[in-house]
Chain A
Amino acid sequence: SQKIEQNSEALNIQEGKTATLTCNYTNYSPAYLQWYRQDPGRGPVFLLLIRENEKEKRKERLKVTFDTTLKQSLFHITASQPADSATYLCAPANEKLTFGTGTRLTIIP
């Protein structure tokens, strides 16, 4: 069965540093992959979408890579800020999104 793993349940990063989150998937060949941010008690907020024929996507301080050979996506936040603290979800997809359990990121001032 499909399995989505996000590298760690929780990650603490010093403010100003780059936070790197990992998403690995098995038994799956997604055509695209999305990253979302979720704050406690709220629905996910879309951040970035990357397709299988794209290696990298950027949006402001965010960068996503997609390696279909390694079956892995990396999500980077550069110059991290305390406001970036949240749970980040990866969701590889074909017709439907399949969510990982998320990584709870805390940016320490």
Chain B
Amino acid sequence: GAVVSQHPSWVICKSGTSVKIECRSLDFQATTMFWYRQFPKQSLMLMATSNEGSKATYEQGVEKDKFLINHASLTLSTLTVTSAHPEDSSFYICSALFGGYTDTQYFGPGTRLTVL
């Protein structure tokens, strides 16, 4: 299957700082990338959908000014958590889609964010 990487794999930061997470599709050009958040023992929740060269579409309840998404190329999307707080501590996972919406999403390994 396709390979999607995330960097960093884990990060610890102080409250009030900003953290950037990168998501790369390594062996294909992704038409669309998605960002998910997963709290312990809970389901993956979609945060936003990102298409290269256009603004991200955020799900209801997700603050777009807090979770900045940049999709600079067909292989790179970044999520910046601005002014992070302890409640933002979670497992952030991206996925990449090659083709239409009914095709397979390939997920990255995830980034564990801990805000102190």
- Spell out A's residues near B (CB within 8 Å): 4, 31-32, 34, 36, 41-46, 49, 51, 89, 93-102
Contact = CB atoms under 8 A, between A and B. Distances in A.
Main SS class of interface, A: loop
Contact of A43 (B45, B49, B103, B109): B109
A101 B112 CA distance: 19
Given A89-B44, A96-B49, A43 B104 contact: no
Contacts of B109: 42-43
B93 interface: yes
* B: contact size bracket: 20 to 34
A31 B100 CA distance: 13
Nearest to A6: B43
B56 to A, nearest CB: 13
B25 to A, nearest CB: 13
Contacts of B103: 49
